[in-house]
Amino acid sequence: MSRPTVRGQRPGWWQDAVIYQVYPRSFADGDGDGVGDLAGLLDRLPYIASLGVDGIWMTPFQPSPQVDQGYDVSDYCAVDPLFGTMEQFDQVLEAAHALGLRIFLDVVPNHCSSEHPLFQAAVAADSGSPERAMFHFENGVDDDTPPNNWQSVFGGRAWSRVNPGSDTDKEWYLHLFSPEQPDWNWRNPAVGDYFEGVLRFWFDKGVDGLRIDVAHALFKADGLPDTASTDGVVNGLRSNPQVSDQDEVHEVYRRWRRVADSYSPTRVLVGEVNLEPHRAARYTRHDEMHQAFAFAFVKLGWDAAAWAAVGTELEAARKEHGAPLTWALENHDIVRSVTRFGGGERGTLRARAGLLAILGLPGGAYIYQGQELNLPEAEVPLHARADPMWTRAGVSRDGARVPLPWTVAAENTYGFSPAGAADPWLPVPAAWGSRSVQMQLDDPASTLQLVTEALRVRRELIEKEILSPDDATTWHVQDNGLLLCERGDRFLLAVAMGEEPCALPQGSVVLASSPLTDAGLLPADSAVWLLREESRT
């Protein structure tokens, strides 16, 4: 398949690529059932291309009972009719490539759906059978006490009885997420072989890369020992060394890298590795994944000292292991940054500034759909919440997952659905039209225009070799709350994180998230890119 060479075949193109995350069920609804789908995405691909991104990461659209919005996969190599057909996926892939956009898919190797045929076969088989060995089936301490004390990320214990009423089958199965998401047993080589087949299926089709869900969790400590603490449901996966980040998992990614590199052009692996920077960086060693999301800023507020400390730590981790960083401030699991940074007018300004900041840092970046519109977290009424984390742990991620507003007018869910469609799967807040794509295309001061301009300028600076994904960074904080990141020799990022406007260091302004004051100061809650003269000593 021929592709335009926008950034095309440049070796290592992913190292500073910007990828747009599409959450298909909320992107665009083509068939009018109130759920976004492949037809809707196909129709709106030119919009994504017009932003100037390098590609798209699509969260799961494979067959699934949708208990966890597709992260409970019952068939890894097909398309759920909710989203369309394989023919439509092929059309998306071809159209995206024709527009110069790469396509990354999500692969979920830690767990599948309890309706996956291999789990169904395991349930039907006896204890000790090869079918059960594909998953973690164990006897409990007694009928009511599971094999160990692990807690599920989604709340409650991480084990369920396979046959709760049975006197003969006393086994429990492990699920780090909901009971409908049994964990694969990666100590069984058959699981590794199965997933190599999944990778090859999509790579053979021409898919350019894979985002790997909970990539650090695949292997659990041998013997499944108790954890020291059971508190912090969500933290369980990160802070309990028994549950994830086992050395054996790196062999999986070495194998996957060999598979990826056997294709031309090489396919790209990006991991969701939710670990502290030095542990996460180990997943991007030269023969493992190409990228792992740097989420560390997500856990911080609007705090210059904290950003500088984390920026410095990420830089040290990157240097130790070699691969450029991959920045992300939002995704479908995280409260929108407008809201995280305080909401209202200040949150709105800060989210714009935060996005400009990560786009100015060396390495790759991911933009979550709606981030380019600076959408805040939506207030989703209790009765409409669909996230399994809400029912099990009282945490709802729905507010970051509402359908995108395309038009100013409220009809057809702000243009998300065609005329006469069913209600959207999550309600869209009133007045969402003022944040719509249509509104922002007409407003030169909109975040949509800022992002498009930032991506254009970024590409130009990369092409002129002023910016490189390998640039070293040095972070500083001034007393007035101005965060500075010196990147390479000539580029400087400044973010005003204090209460007052800040004087800028020397350099010419390339792009700013808010207009400078009449006195040339950077207003509070704003970011700027500066370029210095080449001859600077």
Catalytic residues: 213, 272
Q: CB of 421: closest distance to ligand TEU in angstroms?
A: 25
Which amino acid is present at 311? G
Among 27, 177, 297, 366, binds ligand TEU (CB under 6 A): 177
Q: What's the CA gap between 361 and 376, in Å, rounded?
A: 23
68 lies in the binding site for ligand TEU (CB under 6 A): yes
Residues 234-293 interacting with ligand TEU (rule: CB under 6 A): 234, 237, 274
Nearest-approach distance from CB 68 to ligand TEU, in angstroms = 5
Residue 512 has which token pair?
A: 């700013």
Smallest separation (angstroms) from ligand TEU to the CB of 399: 12
Q: Is the dihedral of CA 441, 348, 531, 509 positive or negative?
A: positive
Count of residues interacting with ligand TEU (CB under 6 A): 13
What are the strands of the beta sheet with 137-139, ordered from one edge?
Answer: 137-139, 171-174, 159-161
Site for ligand TEU contains 213 (CB under 6 A):
yes
CA dihedral (150, 156, 157, 162) positive or negative: negative
Using rule CB under 6 A, residue 214 touches ligand TEU:
yes
- Per DSSP bridges, beta strands 137-139 and 473-477 are unpaired
Q: Exposed, middle or buried: residue 123 (CB in 10 Å: 0-12, 13-18, 19+)?
A: middle
CB burial of 22-57 (b: ≥16 within 10 Å; e: otherwise) equals bbbbbbbbbbbebbbbbbbbbbbbebbbebbbbbbb
Site for ligand TEU in 394-423 (CB under 6 A): 397
Q: Is 138 in the site for ligand TEU (CB under 6 A)?
A: no
Site pattern 337..376 for ligand TEU (x: CB under 6 A) = ----------------------------------------
Alpha-carbon distance of 102 to 254, in angstroms, equals: 23
Q: Is 76 in the site for ligand TEU (CB under 6 A)?
A: no
CB of 291 to ligand TEU, least distance (A): 15
Residue 410: closest CA among 425, 427, 393, 397: 427
Q: In terms of CB distance, is 82 or 504 closer to ligand TEU?
A: 82
Query: In the range 301-340, which residues lie near ligand TEU by CB under 6 A?
Result: 332-333
Residue 71 within binding range of ligand TEU, rule CB under 6 A? yes
Q: Is 108 in the site for ligand TEU (CB under 6 A)?
A: yes
Say if residues 368 and 26 touch (Cβ distance below 8 Å): no
Is the CB of 213 or the CB of 525 nearer to ligand TEU? 213
Which residues of this chain interact with ligand TEU, rule CB under 6 A?
Answer: 68, 71, 108, 153, 177, 213-214, 234, 237, 274, 332-333, 397
